[in-house]
Structure 1
């Protein structure tokens, strides 16, 4: 998270958010109605739009790098974008206030929340940010206490598959690696650095993970299950292949639902230690507390089952 900015407006009202993950942060902080341009789509993130119907009024940008002229025509008074986005310099040169945002771990996530809340300039955004920090810290402490007696070498080896076709996994130095460890596992792909790394089935077979977690948007695994390589994997033979929940944003990626992800992952990796964890009620309480949305039990179950709103 860089926080590199141009001169900013006080309480922006016409925001263009060009980083998918950051849209969720704005929604959680009460800024959905200020998003007037976005790269998000209801077809991609239906739960985000269910939680924040105001997003339907935003212009859907056709690409992640709109021209400065497009943003000016939309009367944008603030842009959020990753620093590497090719259009950032041109936005600043034309006088559009632009904030560079990105994060790769929970420390960066919290800094990004702090920055975003400050820019929104509302008491609500500041209060939600403080509350979220407390919730995340308490959740991590609870998990650490329950997992304290399990030696590192005895923890299950977990492989997170982002995409099935092409096959891509997440290695060390990622939030995925972080939640695997916080939930009591070891990243089977720890020898690889970074996210979205292409990999072969043969390499997965060499790792032979105890547990496989398929990203919520990873695609259908069935084409890969026809051959002997997949079927002989320890995780497959033992029925330890799981599909990751998707809420406002995929829980397993880069967003505030990380706090739910570590709890869900703990129930998958160590069901014997977390048998009393009711993820339906935890999920409902989280969205009520941080998104001001009352999920029904059925809606919570659909999120946990990687299903869109009914």
Structure 2
């Protein structure tokens, strides 16, 4: 096993949780308690995955291969460090390399990424070489991507994904697989505390309209009512312009974008589009969000903030600050506290600027002092 200790410069920034960080001081850390569902007996650990299959291990997993894209950073967060990750999807590595985790844990950039090909088809030979205790794989995309793993004698835990319930279930499952159920419960309980607070504050009749776009002006894909982005928009107290799209996403053209005329446009992290691309497009000059300079690149922290992850409560609060024009006061301090728990490293001011996409969003409305 390689040495997974952080380098000395990294260690100097670590802040270990102790008596000085009470759960009551931060909603994200509220309600620490044991996990639910599966149980371990002696040296044998039995976990029920999100498809209802029973997963048996000889003990807590110490080497994990993650094929779904969000799973790598979530595993790091639930574990409290990167040492457990033995392989991950190449798209997960791209987010890590571009974000906070790649900077503070450069060893993650050396984790093998050849574990899956197109459409999440597993590279069984590579996964076997990683010697994982368990492989995390999608459980809702057919047996063709799971059965080859089991046929090779690998232990597989399957995910369903896309809703808040799925997210909470995944966090708890990771906690059980790693023997970190208390940490997982703290993450989930913190999500629920923030969720309840935001639901109570959301207006009954939202005035602000928001459109989430994958890609850019040349190939735009809007997030419909079946997406997690729709859930986040409504939670933040706004209306999703694309709610009439029943599925998760649909391709739209400039004409449809102009017809919806959203107050706020969000540009996701699964495409290269930047606010300046829309501001500089003559075809979009009459778009309300362009005229009022309310186009924003979604942040990228430990992972992309677009899909459900351990950092979703931060995304909810970020968007609420944009929608209501409050600039999300205190968000930066909360990121520092939460990252101290999730990753064991507190981000610097420069790292906060990078994850909040200040270079991209600095020219947009209400963003100069965002989150302070």
Q: TM-score range by the shorter chain?
A: 0.7 to 0.9
1:266 aligns with 2:324: no
1:152-195 deviation per Cα after TM superposition (whole angstroms, max 9, x unaligned): 2x431100112114211211122111111111111111111333
2:160 counterpart (102, 123, 129): 102
1:241, distance to aligned residue in structure 2 (A): 1.0
TM-score of the superposed pair, with normalisation by structure 2: 0.74
For residue 75 of structure 1, the aligned residue among 128, 131, 148 is 131
Match of 2:87 among 23, 33, 37: 37
SS in 1 for 2:301: coil
Residue 182 of structure 2, aligned match among 127, 131, 149: 127
Q: How high is the TM-score relative to the length of structure 1?
A: 0.88
Q: Distance in 1 between matches of 2:188 and 2:299?
A: 22
Q: How many angstroms does 1:225 deviate by?
A: 5.1
Greater shift in the superposed pair: 258-267 or 57-66 = 57-66
| Preserved contact between residue 160 and residue 169 of structure 1 (Cα < 8 Å) | yes
> Is there any run of 5+ residues in structure 1 with no aligned partner, and where?
none
Measured in 1, the distance between the counterparts of 2:110 and 2:52 equals 27
Deviates more, 1:109-118 or 1:1-10: 1-10
- For residues 173 and 250 of structure 1, what CA distance do their matches in structure 2 show? 19
**Unaligned regions of 5+ residues in structure 2, if any?**
1-49, 361-372
| Residues in 2 aligned to 1:231 and 1:4: alpha-carbon distance in whole angstroms | 53
Q: 1:9–1:78: 8 Å Cα contact kept in structure 2?
A: no
C-alpha distance after superposition, 1:123-172 (max 9, x if no partner)? xx22221211222122123323433xx332x4311001121142112111
Where do 1:222-241 residues align within 5 Å? Answer: 222=276, 227-241=281-295
Write the distance in 2 (CA, Å) between the matches of 1:217 and 1:97: 30
How many pairs were matched up?
Answer: 300
Aligned residue in 2 for 1:257: 311
Question: Does the 8 A contact of 2:278 with 2:290 survive in 1?
Answer: no
Written as runs of structure 1 = structure 2, the 5 A alignment for 1:13-162 is 13-30=62-79, 32-40=82-90, 42-46=93-97, 47-61=100-114, 63=117, 64-83=120-139, 84=141, 86-121=144-179, 125-147=180-202, 150-152=203-205, 154-162=206-214
Please tell me the root mean square deviation across aligned C-alpha atoms, in Å. Answer: 2.4
